[in-house]
Structure formats: C-alpha cells, structure tokens
Amino acid sequence: MAGTLYVVATPLGNLGDLSPRAADTLKRVSAVAAEDTRHSKPLLIHAGSHAELISFHAHSSERARERILRILQEGRDVALITDAGTPAISDPGVDLVAAAQERGIPVVTIPGPTAVAAAVSVSGIGGDRYLFLGFLPRKGSDRRRLLSTAAESEWTVVFFEAPNRVTQLLTDLIEVCGADRRASVSRELTKIFEETRSGTLQELSEHYAEAPARGEVTVVVSGTGKPRVEERPVDPADRAKALLAEGLSRKDVADRVAEETGISRNTAYRLVNEL
C-alpha cells in the first residue's frame, strides 16, 4: 500500500504554535518535503523529528517531485511543509498534492496556522467572506486586472506582499479603490515585532512611505459591500473603430484592443487591418 502525504501547517514564526498533532506527524513520517531545508531543520529539531529532509520549492525539478512520489509509492509516509503557515496556499506544494491524488496516494491535512486567517482576524475588517489574491504579479495587465478585481469586490480582499513592495501596492490600491478605502497591514505575525496597522489606504501609504515595512506582510482591504455589476463585454471591433477614430496608429490600436478585450495580439492585428 502507498504511504500517506501529510500536508502539515507550521508556525508563522512562534514555535509554540506547532500543534501536538503536527509535531507527532513530523516525528512519525519517513521524510519531510520542505521549501527551505535550512529554515525547516530547527523546526524538526524542536519537534524531535529525525525524518529525512527533502528540498521541494517553486524551482524544484520534476525529478524532485518524482523522488517524493516514489517514497510514497514505496509505502512510506511524507510530510509536506512550507517555510511558514499552510502548504499549497500561494505555495508550490499544490503540484505535489495534485500529483499524489492522481496516483491514488492518500493526502491528509494537519491544519494549523495560516497568515490569511490570522491577518483577517486582527484587521477589524469583516471576514464573513473574503477573496484571497496572494502575491500579485509585479507589473503588466495581469496585475491591473487583479487590482481591478480587488477594487470591485463586494467582499474583503487579502494579499501577500514582499516588504519592499508594500508601498507600491498601497499606491496602486489607492488608484483603483480610492484613498478612503479601509485596510490593514499585518507584518511579522506571531513574531517578536508583530504589528497590525489599520486605517485608510492613504493613511497606510503615508506611514509605510516613511517607515518601510519589514518581515512577512499580509494586506487586508475592505470590500465595497455591494454586489459587482457585470459590465457588457467590450466588442473588439467596436473598440478598434473608436480608437482608430481617435487617430491612433493601427499597431497601437491592435495592442490596446488585445489588452482590453483579452483577444490575442495576432487576432487584434488581423481585425484592425480588416477595418
């Protein structure tokens, strides 16, 4: 019989948050697949685990994943952990979980800490329903699309962000949500310098421009409280005609139409040239 893949939530920072069940699991498994083995080794020592540590992260090869699956297929148990919080949440562990399920390998959750729920709980912003968008792309149309989604969301929205990019995220959110939208920034959750600061996007932006954030950061933004109004899809041909009438070049029109409507650039170029 195949072994079991245990998806084990680990502390965000404070080792006291490791549950007894999680510690027992780490002691019992044959191997632990960890995002950063150097970071995770002290955790295993704390849990009293002598399991084999295997590196598994966003840049791991397919060979690394197959090695873990082979251990499971041999009947040995494996624990999947991330550097902090719950694996497979904005984390490459989801690929390993999916691959295990496809091969009929049992997958069991050992729940525990998650920065998403932790940040929402201390934000002062409603958490009955929330939308988690994780780390945004650094630039481009995908970033603009997700920012727009956040601005129009009826529900609370949660982001992860690197500390050196928090100010830019807050600035971009002001542009799409307005300066007065309520938000909170939590950093270093469960650690010595834990801090959650709430206020308007403008207030938070001004604060972190003067005192740059440090450590792991989770941003929570209040929703509109109103259902999103679905807009009629933009017709590519109509949009192309309007842009041509404004005097834009055919190339610029094709680029704009592709970006705004989601059609491929080749299709947009062909459409514009046919007008």
Please report which confidence band the pLDDT of residue 227 belongs to, taking 50, 70 and 90 as the band edges. Answer: confident
Domain shared by 255 and 193, yes or no = no
- 231: pLDDT confidence band, cut at 50, 70 and 90? low
Q: Write down the pLDDT at residue 224.
A: 96
228 within domain boundaries: no
- Return the pLDDT at 66: 96
Q: What's the pTM?
A: 0.80
Q: Where are the beta strands (DSSP E) in the chain?
A: 5-8, 31-34, 52-55, 78-81, 107-110, 130-135, 156-161, 182-187, 195-200, 217-221
CATH number of the domain encompassing residue 135:
3.30.950.10
Q: Calculate Rg over the CA atoms of the chain.
A: 23
The closest alpha carbon to 76, from 101, 51, 102, belongs to 51
Across the range 100-105, mean pLDDT stands at 97
Long-range contacts of 48-56 (CB under 8 A, 24+ apart): 48/23, 49/23, 51/26, 51/27, 51/79, 54/78, 56/80, 56/92, 56/93, 56/96
* DSSP letter assigned to residue 59: T
Asked whether residue 227 is domain-assigned, the answer is no
Within a domain: residue 203?
yes
What percent of the chain is predicted at pLDDT more than 90? 80
